[in-house]
Structure 1
Amino acid sequence: MTQKRMVRALYDYKAAQKGDLSLGQDEEYEVLEETEEHWWKLRDKHGNEGYSPSNYVTEATDIGLHQYDWYLGDATRQRAETILMREEREGCFVVRNSSSTTGMYTISVYCSMSRPQVKHYHIQKDSESKYFLSHNIKCNSISELIYKHHYNPGGLCTRLRCAPHGNKPPTTAGFSRDKWDIPLNEITLLEEIGSGQFGVVKRGKYRGMDVA
């Protein structure tokens, strides 16, 4: 039996047209087809199938945090505070390696309760290797924990809303699979019909239709 290939969504993606498949950050999907470079056919856990941008997913076995835009690695407490205070956005956050406990992590988040400030929370791990910030929300991975606290503060000063600017989802190849992303082998170039400041215009055929 062929083993299923699973990928994990790095970002949310909203289906742009019929035939696309929406993605939820950190959710896993089965790869059905990857014949096109930029758009893969996936299946979600509910059995829904469709095309999604391939640069929005990564191998499900890749559990490293470097793929996430909110991860700052060995950044110091001071650097995290500088970045978040400069952003001045409620719920803006970063995750960094703990300076006191090897192999553990700290979440730094901007909040403006009585005054603008950055709060720091040490991520803990229980006897079953589940990560948590409060005992009512426990998860199997750091990324899952972040996802849960995006919707529920769960004891934090605010929800984990966004990463600092400059760490945005990549652009897709076209607005959707069938818009603005045409495989070159589907186009036949014919004679030149004009030229201008933007280059040469040629007549051609796309899927049997005349185009220019």
Structure 2
Amino acid sequence: MFPRVILKGTMIKKSQQKKRTSPSNYKERFFVLDTQDLKYSERRPGKRPMLKGCIELSRIKCVEIVCADVPIPCSYKYPFQVFHDSHYLYIFAPDNDCRQRWVRALKEETKHNNLVAKYHPNFWMEGRWRCCHQSEKLATGCRIYNPEACASKKPLPLLPDPETELPDPGRQMVIALQDYTPMGDDDLPLQKDQQYLLVNGSHSDWWSVQNDKGDIGFVPSTYVAEKIGSNFDRFEWYNKHVNRGEAEDLLMKEGKEGAFMVRDSRQAGVYTVSVFTKAPGSNGEKNPRVKHYQIRQSDDGQGAFYLAEKYLFCTIPELIHYHQHNAAGLITRLRHPVSQGARCSLETADPSEGLGSQKIAHPLHSSCTNWPPSQT
């Protein structure tokens, strides 16, 4: 009896890098899911497709979306993962609906397999998991895996609870640090640099915000910054009780170009960016050291923050986000946030805490996922 075809379509796959020397590349492939295998082929004009890979469904241990916090380097921007044997296959769909169809179908076909108890919601990159920073590729995941769940099935966001809303709920505004594309019906899209009303910010990972049309939905808390206020504890780069010497020790120990942190200066209400660099000195030789930059505010009455005067920002998270992508006067770009203590929890807290009695399941991101992205 021939296997029944369930889905087929063109997507992009990332090389599985089964060997340490394998290149990291992205190639368009034609995928076919049937009741026995997941196959992908290279289409060649005028010729029969060439089979490039085949994964028996019985070998699959986990299928889940990837909560990417880095720029996607290919034209399709919606990744999901297939963990089989001891390998991770990253597949990129052209849109969220397509991704959800494939994830849902693959989960349905593999839900009775010998599955993992926990999975990694983010990418394996540069020798570590971006979600929990473990450096062993086959390390146990940091998020509980639910083979029955699909990210698209989530309840609508709650209206603000009178007992938990902000002291001044009418006018607390946040600014979007980055565009955000909803991954479910209860999310709200964000447009970079736009302002939103903060409806409820009591949960560490997910905040409820309202746009100028009155629509309310969830957004990752690290995608936005309070227009007024200085609560940076949710950002991995912030180290409140670290002095200059301790910062230098931590960053020198990290030893990565662009490793950085933001810490309190001796002067109350002032913050310093400390960053590690190996940039050559005056003699042309590498000179590992830590540079310190005080975050200043303009004196034009606007109170904008800056490290280099030409680049002014309404909030400190906006400033950090910009310099994670542009050196712009600094000795190096801010590449790798460093924390004195681990901020990652192994399991995501329930976003319903502090939002009333109704349960809200929002499984897309863990508190290990950091934004803004750090590029390499």
Q: What is the TM-score with the length of structure 2 in the denominator?
A: 0.36
Residue in 2 that maps onto 1:127? 299
Q: Secondary structure at the match of 2:337?
A: coil
Find the aligned partners of 2:308 and 2:278 in 1 and give their Cα distance: 21
Residue in 1 that maps onto 2:81? none
Unaligned stretches of 5+ residues in structure 2: 1-167, 281-285, 352-359, 365-376
Per-residue deviation, 1:18: 4.2
Change (3 A) 1:52 1:161: farther
Among 307, 332, 348, the alignment partner of 1:171 is 348
Matches within 5 A, 1:109-188: 109-114=275-280, 115=286, 116-128=288-300, 129-164=303-338, 166-168=342-344, 171=348, 173=350
Find the aligned partners of 1:11 and 1:167 in 2 and give their Cα distance: 21
The residue type equivalent to 1:78 in the other structure is G
Residue in 2 that maps onto 1:197? none
Q: Secondary structure at the match of 1:156?
A: coil
Q: What is the TM-score with the length of structure 1 in the denominator?
A: 0.58
Residue in 2 that maps onto 1:43? 210
Per-residue deviation, 1:79: 0.4
Name whichever of 128-137 and 48-57 sits farther off: 48-57
Superposed CA deviations along residues 4-47 of structure 1, whole A, max 9, x for unmatched, are: 3545489977633344235689975325689xxx96653346x5
Superposed CA deviations along residues 82-102 of structure 1, whole A, max 9, x for unmatched, are: 111222333221122334x55
The residue type equivalent to 2:338 in the other structure is P
Residue in 2 that maps onto 1:106? 272
Find the aligned partners of 1:103 and 1:171 in 2 and give their Cα distance: 31
Residue in 2 that maps onto 1:210? none
Change (3 A) 1:10 1:86: farther
Residue in 2 that maps onto 1:95? 262
Change (3 A) 1:33 1:84: closer
Q: Secondary structure at the match of 1:151?
A: coil
Per-residue deviation, 1:72: 2.2
Alignment check: 8 A CA contact 2:209 2:219 kept: no
The residue type equivalent to 1:145 in the other structure is L
Per-residue deviation, 1:142: 2.5
Find the aligned partners of 2:270 and 2:362 in 1 and give their Cα distance: 44
Q: More strand by proportion, 1 or 2?
A: 1
